[in-house]
Chain A
Amino acid sequence: MKIAVASGKGGTGKTTVAINLALSAQQPLQLLDCDVEEPNAHLFLKTTPIHQQIVTIPVPKIDETRCDGCGLCSQFCAFNALVSFGTTPVFEPEMCHGCGGCMRVCPKEAIREIEKRVGIIETSKSGNITLVQGRLDIGVALAPPLIHAVKKEARSDLIIMDAPPGTSCPVIATLREVDFVVLVTEPTPFSLNDLKLAIDVVREIGLSFGVVINRACENDNLVRPYCQTEKIQILAEIPDDRRIAESYAKGIPIIEALPEYKNLFVNLLHKISEAA
């Protein structure tokens, strides 16, 4: 089973939920940190490194002695990564998606492909949990190729993924082909707004999902009523407990700092397995 933990808005407790879910599972599992722009899961787990793997995408390399400046490659490139003024094109690596089209259209066979590094995948282990974390290199614009590479490492029966925030390409790359999405939100106007956007995306992709309310309060007149009218399952509510915030600040998982919350996450995992 593949479970993704996501949230339209960042900082709602997505990583917290992913970590504590992983820690409350009774079986070996992989935790995939797909928030490759700001991977945080490793801060909460004392893991032993196993291996590292550099991730690259193929990008064009133009042989100037063969190029006659026809500009066909630059006309072809849908992402404006090649700029030609009747000369050998200038290549803008941040724009390139690595589609290979320019190499195929070049009539002079002047383009070959070289590998460009976009990030790194670090695999490490702690108890039952194998953490697979992607880390995007600084200055690299496109996260999806790295996210796909992280997802390729998925092997175990139970997979928990920490998704990036937002609703655009990186989130979609993460959510494709998962069995269940846990959307973490808070009872604030901003979070509710972003939750609605995230739900639009999850519905568009056609995935089953449920909501976890973090920093829940008694008089929540935002998220709870919304979920009730929309008939969305509230899977769990994590109370607004200052001790949780403090343990989070120090990078200690809730169920280690405050064992009384262990049941909450065990039940959450149970509910997810039933719903998925």
Chain B
Amino acid sequence: MKEIVIISGKGGTGKTSLVASFAILAKNAILADCDVDAADLHLILTPTIKETHEFWSGYEAFIRQGICEGCGTCMDLCRFNAIKETKTPKGNYTYHVDPISCEGCGVCVRFCPKSAIEFNEQLCGKWMISETRAGMMVHAKLGIAAENSGKLVATVRQEALRLAKETKCEMILIDGPPGIGCPVIAAVTGASEVVIITEPTLSGAHDLKRVLDLTKHFSIPAFVCVNKWDICPDMTEQIEKQATSSGATILGRICYDNTVTQAQKEVKAVVETNAPSANDIREIWNKLLHHHQIEKEKH
């Protein structure tokens, strides 16, 4: 079983367009959209939702006003400045929890001398199993201003893995989140390989380096492709060199192609259109498969 995560470090480099094309080319992979706080893959693959599940995760404190005597212990103990104090006209204080700042650690709940604080599990979003023209897909929607995106990513991955085992599917394609923090770590740890798509800009090069440091840190094999390479061929070369020397394998280059937005508007993956970049993407995909073949033969 291959679990392939496509990430970009920096967003907006064509990650989701690449995943959609890979999904079409793979024909029968299980798809997982782990970019849970800004999911876009469904805009191309138009899933028909088969199952929806609530995502409960983490807790939030709530102070019951009738029981609270206003000692302020909670405010002293909370390390996240989530307890807010209001002075009443009588001159004493009332306390309440700011739900957006509360991280749900439970310290105030445990140490409130009046046991006035409730600790409620939070509904942080939902996840779905769907059918698409490219195969089964697990995707999610994080609640508005909700926490625990990392755990939602882990849930989506877990479900994709379960589906793959049940259907004896050999490949999972994961659309990963941007950055290098908790959602990305949740998306890449333990995966078979990471495909990074970047672009030949100073920011692209800088962000790629950070992502490669991350994949190295977690010892995950990394592949790199450069999108819009022809905007700056020199920078492309430089990026490829840098990536190779940090141990990544170069998969190829995708040309600058302003018809990609048109494909998005037509609800098509790039490889389902005649876009000039479609061939580049096919070549990259074949190269990745070729790699899998070589690896298999080695074993």
Contacts and interface: CB of A to CB of B under 8 A. Distances in A.
A232 interface: no
Contacts of A166: 11, 37-38, 149, 177-179
B38 A142 contact: no
A241 B117 CA distance: 56
Interface stretch (B48-56, B97-105, B126-134): B97-105
Contacts, number: 170
Nearest to B16: A190
A78 B59 contact: yes
Interface stretch (B23-31, B180-188, B284-292): B180-188
Contacts of A12: 11-12
A37 B181 contact: yes
Contacts of A171: 37
A138 B265 contact: no
Interface stretch (B160-168, B198-206, B274-282): B198-206
Q: Of residues B12, B101, B206, B207, which shows the largest number of chain A Cβ atoms within 10 Å of its Cβ?
A: B12
Interface residues of A, number: 55
A246 interface: yes
Contacts of A94: 185
Interface string A17-32: 0000000000000000
Chain B interface size range: 35 or more
Interface string B189-202: 00000000000111
B207 A38 contact: yes
A191 B13 CA distance: 12
B142 A204 contact: no
Contact of A100 (B9, B100, B107): B107
B38 A101 contact: no
Contact of B179 (A100, A165, A167): A165
Given A138-B213, A138-B217, A189-B265, A98 B10 contact: no
A127 interface: no
Contacts of B142: 167-168
Contact of B150 (A8, A141, A204): A141
Given A136-B180, A201-B145, A38 B206 contact: yes
A165 B231 CA distance: 24
18 contacts: A15-B203, A43-B203, A78-B104, A97-B103, A97-B105, A99-B79, A99-B106, A100-B107, A104-B111, A167-B144, A168-B36, A168-B146, A168-B147, A171-B37, A204-B100, A204-B145, A205-B145, A250-B232
Report the 5 A-B pairs with minimum CB-CB distance, sorted nearest first: A11-B12, A10-B11, A99-B105, A37-B179, A141-B182
Given A187-B261, A188-B264, 7 more contacts: A78-B58, A99-B107, A166-B179, A190-B264, A250-B202, A251-B201, A251-B203
